[in-house]
C-alpha cells in the first residue's frame, strides 16, 4: 500500500493528533520496527529492481543518428588480475556498442599476454595494448572523454546513446556518470547501485560511486604527470574523482543502469587507501590513518582538541538519563567536553535526587528551564550557557557504543567546509533508527533505511558509507559555535519537531556541507522519552519554511527510487509529480484544525 493512498485515507477520516490518529500512528511505527515488516519491504525492493531493469531494457533508446554532438571516447581497460575471458568479455561489450566513435587502450603489466591478445584482436584497429610502466596518457588518449574500467566489466549496448543524449555542443560537464550493477568482493553477490545525482565528497571517501563515468580528457591530462607510472588507471580515476569538489568541476548523472562492473573501487585496497590518505593530507589534515573492517573504512586525522558543549534537554527521565550520562562520562575516550542538562521543570523525586548526585561533577551543569517545553528554545538556552568551540545536541535517551564516537564527530566538525555532522543511530535490537534524512520521504522528510539491520546494503547503497545529506536528525547534531551563532540558532517557532531539519537546511544554504558518518554510532531509545506525537503547528511551519526543499527532488537521493524508508525502484519516471502530490496531500491534512 503506497504512502500517498494512506495519506488520503488519513486526511478523509482522521484529525491531526486526535487520540485515534495518534494511536494508529503509534501502531504503524511499532509494526514497521518488526523484522517481518523489514523482510516484506526488502523483498519488495529486490523484486522492484527486477521489474525496473526489464522495463529499461524494453524502453526505446534515443536514436544516435539524431545527435549532432558525438565526441570520441577512450576506454582505458585495466587488465592486471582476472582471467583472459574477463578481458574478452569487456572488449566484446565495447565492440557491440551502438556508435563507432570509440577506442580502447588495454593497460596491463602482463607483457607476455600482450602479443597474443594483439594478434587475436589485430583486425580491430581501435584496440591497443600498453604496459603500465610505459603508459603515456597523451598518446593513449585520443578521445574527448575517457572511461576508466576493468577487465570483466560489461557495458550495455545503449551506453553511448544515453551519453550523447545527455550532451550539448557547449557542454561544460567534466564527469558524467550513471547507475550500475556491481560484483561485491566481500559477499560474491551482485548489487544494483542507484546513485545520488549530485556530488557527495564524503561518500567518495567510502566508495568511488562515480567510477566508470565519462571523464573529460583534458581533466585527465592535466593531472597525469602526478600519477604517471605510479598507479593503475582505476586508482588514478579515484584520485581524479576526489579532486572534483576542490576544483569546482561539474558532474552530471544519467539515471540509467548502463554497466555490470566487476567491483567498486573502495579504500580497502592499499593503493586506494594511499590515494585517499594523500588527498586528505593535501587538504591540510594531519596524521591521516585508515581503518577497514567488514563493513566499511574509517578515516581519522588529528583533531585540534576543541572544547565541546554536550547539550541535552530533559525532564523526569532518570531511568534513561542516568545510564546515558554514565556512558558519556565513563565510556567516551575524548575528554574535552562538558555536559549541559537543560531541565524542563522536573518534579519527580528520583530525578531531583539524581541531580543532587551529579551537580558536584565539574563536567556536568544543570540549567533550569521554567517554561512549557520547546525543543528549539531549550537547545538555544543550553548553547547560550556554554563557551565551547563545538556544540553537540543530543536526546536524553541514548547510550555510547564506541569510545571513539566523540573523537569522530569532533574531527569532522572542525573542518571549515563542514557545517553540521550527524551519525548512525541504532536501536538495542541492532536495527537502524537514523542513517540520514531524505527530503520528500513519505511525502515530507524521513529517515532512510529506518528499521533495516545495522549494516544494511540496499538499492541506495550501504548504511556504512560516509555521505552528504541535506539534513540529519537532531537526536545527534554537532556544529561549530560560530556557525550556530551566525544562523541565529534553532528557530523557536518549532516547538518539538522539524527544528533539527530546519537548522540543517539553513546551514546548507550558507554553503556548508551536512555530513553523515557511520563511525560515531550511538544507541537511541527513540520514542521512549516523548512518544510519537507531533504538534500540527510544527508541521504547518515546516511546510511554510521548507517548501522549496520539500517540493523538488533531494539532490542526494536517486531519481530511480521511491521515497520510502526501504526504497524500491520506480518504473514510472514521475518522481517530481509524486513528491508534489504527497506534499500537497500532507499539507492539506495538517491544515485541518
d(CA 386, CA 591): 38
Q: Quote the cell numbers at residue 79.
A: 587488465
Query: What is the secondary structure of 66-118 as a DSSP string?
Result: G-S----EEEEEEESSS-HHHHHHHHHHHHTSS---EEEEEEES-TTHHHHHH
Q: Quote the cell numbers at residue 374.
A: 520547546
Query: Interhelix angle for 217-227 vs 233-243, to 10°?
Result: 110
Do 30 and 91 fall within a single domain? no
For residue 236, the domain's CATH number is 3.90.550.10
Residue 178 has pLDDT above 90, yes or no: yes
Q: Is residue 277 part of a domain?
A: no
Q: Is residue 391 part of a domain?
A: yes
CB count within 10 Å of CB 62 equals 13
Total domains in the fold of the chain: 2
**pLDDT, tens only, 420-449:** 999 999 999 999 999 999 999 988 899 999
Mean pLDDT to the nearest integer, 330-350: 97
Do 97 and 39 fall within a single domain? no
Residue 405 has pLDDT above 60, yes or no: yes
Do 436 and 330 fall within a single domain? yes
Residue 406 has pLDDT above 70, yes or no: yes
Bigger pLDDT: 268 vs 521: 521
Do 188 and 226 fall within a single domain? yes
Strand ranges inside 188-288, DSSP E: 190-193, 214-216, 251-261
Q: Is residue 228 part of a domain?
A: yes
- 97 with 149: CB under 8 angstroms? no
Q: Is residue 54 part of a domain?
A: no
Q: Is 587 helix (H, G, I), strand (E, B) or coil?
A: helix
Residue 316 has pLDDT above 70, yes or no: yes
Q: Is residue 285 part of a domain?
A: no
- 76 with 129: CB under 8 angstroms? no
Bigger pLDDT: 574 vs 243: 243
Do 319 and 213 fall within a single domain? no
Query: What is the secondary structure of 496-530 as a DSSP string?
Result: SSSHHHHHHHHHHHTTPEEEEEEEEEEEE-TTTTT
Do 363 and 440 fall within a single domain? yes
d(CA 297, CA 438): 23
Quick one: pLDDT at residue 533? 66
Quick one: pLDDT at residue 112? 54
d(CA 169, CA 154): 28
Domain boundary among 266, 282, 314: 266
Nearest to 241 by CA among 286, 207, 289: 207
Q: Is 60 helix (H, G, I), strand (E, B) or coil?
A: coil
Backbone angles phi and psi of 49, in degrees to 5: -65, -40
Quick one: pLDDT at residue 223? 77
CA 540, distance to chain mean position in Å, is: 28
Do 447 and 576 fall within a single domain? yes
Domain boundary among 266, 288, 313: 266
Instruction: Note down the domain range covering 39.
Output: 3-49+303-590
Do 359 and 448 fall within a single domain? yes
Do 565 and 434 fall within a single domain? yes
Nearest to 260 by CA among 149, 421, 106, 343: 149
Domain boundary among 221, 247, 266: 266
SS3 of 411-472: the string is HHHCCCCEEEEEEEEECCCCEEEECCEEECHHHCEEECCCCCECCCEECCEECCCCEEECEC
Q: Is residue 294 part of a domain?
A: no
**pLDDT, tens only, 528-575:** 545 556 788 888 899 889 988 888 899 999 999 999 999 999 876 555
d(CA 142, CA 6): 55
What pTM was estimated for this model as a whole?
0.92
Amino acid at each position: 500500500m503506497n504512502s500517498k493512498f494512506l495519506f488520503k485515507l488519513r486526511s478523509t477520516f482522521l484529525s491531526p493528533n486526535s487520540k485515534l490518529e495518534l494511536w494508529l500512528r503509534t501502531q504503524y511505527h511499532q509494526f514497521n520496527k518488526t523484522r517481518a515488516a523489514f523482510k516484506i519491504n526488502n523483498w519488495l525492493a529486490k523484486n522492484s529492481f527486477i521489474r525496473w531493469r526489464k522495463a529499461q531494457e524494453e524502453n526505446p533508446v534515443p536514436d544516435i543518428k539524431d545527435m549532432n554532438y558525438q565526441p570520441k571516447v577512450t576506454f582505458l581497460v585495466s587488465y592486471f588480475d582476472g582471467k583472459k575471458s574477463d578481458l574478452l568479455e569487456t572488449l566484446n561489450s565495447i565492440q557491440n556498442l551502438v556508435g563507432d566513435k570509440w577506442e580502447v587502450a588495454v593497460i596491463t603489466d602482463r607483457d607476455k599476454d600482450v602479443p597474443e591478445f594483439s594478434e587475436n584482436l589485430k583486425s580491430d584497429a581501435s584496440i591497443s595494448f600498453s604496459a603500465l610502466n610505459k603508459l603515456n596518457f597523451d598518446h593513449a588518449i585520443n578521445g574527448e572523454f575517457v572511461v576508466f574500467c576493468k577487465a570483466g566489466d560489461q557495458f550495455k549496448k545503449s551506453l553511448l546513446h544515453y551519453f550523447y543524449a545527455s550532451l550539448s555542443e557547449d557542454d561544460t560537464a567534466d564527469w558524467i556518470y550513471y547507475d550500475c550493477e556491481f560484483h561485491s568482493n566481500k559477499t560474491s553477490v551482485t548489487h544494483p547501485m542507484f546513485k545520488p545525482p549530485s556530488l557527495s565528497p564524503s561518500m567518495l571517501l567510502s566508495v568511488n560511486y562515480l567510477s566508470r563515468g565519462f571523464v573529460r580528457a583534458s581533466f585527465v591530462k592535466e593531472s597525469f604527470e602526478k600519477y604517471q607510472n605510479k598507479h593503475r588507471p582505476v586508482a588514478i580515476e579515484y584520485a581524479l574523482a576526489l579532486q572534483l569538489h576542490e576544483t569546482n568541476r561539474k558532474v552530471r548523472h544519467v539515471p540509467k543502469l548502463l554497466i555490470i562492473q566487476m567491483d567498486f573501487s573502495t579504500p580497502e585496497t592499499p593503493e586506494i587507501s594511499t590515494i585517499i590518505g594523500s588527498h586528505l593530507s593535501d587538504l591540510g589534515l594531519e596524521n591521516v590513518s585508515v581503518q577497514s573492517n567488514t563493513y566499511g573504512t574509517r578515516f581519522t586525522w588529528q583533531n585540534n582538541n576543541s572544547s565541546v558543549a554536550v547539550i541535552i534537554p530533559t525532564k523526569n527521565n532518570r531511568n534513561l538519563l542516568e545510564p546515558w550520562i554514565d556512558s558519556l562520562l565513563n565510556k567516551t575516550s575524548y575528554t574535552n567536553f562538558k555536559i549541559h542538562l537543560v531541565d524542563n521543570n522536573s518534579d519527580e523525586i528520583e530525578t531531583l535526587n539524581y541531580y543532587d548526585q551529579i551537580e558536584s561533577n565539574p563536567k556536568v551543569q544543570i540549567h533550569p528551564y521554567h517554561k512549557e517545553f520547546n525543543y528549539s528554545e531549550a537547545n538555544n538556552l543550553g548553547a547560550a550557557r556554554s563557551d565551547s568551540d563545538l556544540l553537540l545536541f543530543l536526546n536524553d535517551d541514548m547510550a555510547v557504543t564506541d569510545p571513539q564516537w566523540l573523537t569522530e564527530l569532533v574531527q569532522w566538525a572542525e573542518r571549515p567546509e563542514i557545517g553540521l555532522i550527524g551519525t548512525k543511530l541504532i536501536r538495542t535490537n541492532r536495527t537502524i533508527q537514523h542513517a540520514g534524512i531524505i527530503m520528500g520521504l513519505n511525502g515530507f522528510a524521513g529517515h532512510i533505511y529506518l528499521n533495516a539491520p545495522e549494516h544494511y546494503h540496499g538499492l541506495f547503497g550501504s548504511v556504512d558509507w560516509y555521505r552528504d545529506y541535506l539534513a540529519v536528525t537532531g537526536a545527534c547534531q554537532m556544529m561549530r559555535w560560530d556557525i550556530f551563532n551566525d544562523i541565529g540558532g534553532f528557530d523557536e517557532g518549532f516547538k518539538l519537531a522539524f527544528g533539527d531539519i530546519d537548522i540543517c537546511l539553513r546551514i546548507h544554504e550558507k554553503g556548508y556541507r551536512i555530513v553523515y558518518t557511520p563511525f560515531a554510532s550511538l544507541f537511541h531509545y527513540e520514542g521512549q522519552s516523548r512518544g510519537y506525537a507531533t504538534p500540527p503547528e510544527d508541521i504547518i511551519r515546516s511546510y511554510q519554511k521548507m517548501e522549496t526543499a520539500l517540493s523538488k527532488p533531494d539532490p542526494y537521493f536517486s531519481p530511480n527510487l521511491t521515497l520510502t524508508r526501504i526504497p524500491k525502484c520506480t518504473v514510472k519516471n514521475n518522481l517530481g509529480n509524486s513528491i508534489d502530490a504527497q506534499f500537497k496531500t500532507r499539507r492539506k491534512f495538517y491544515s485541518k484544525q
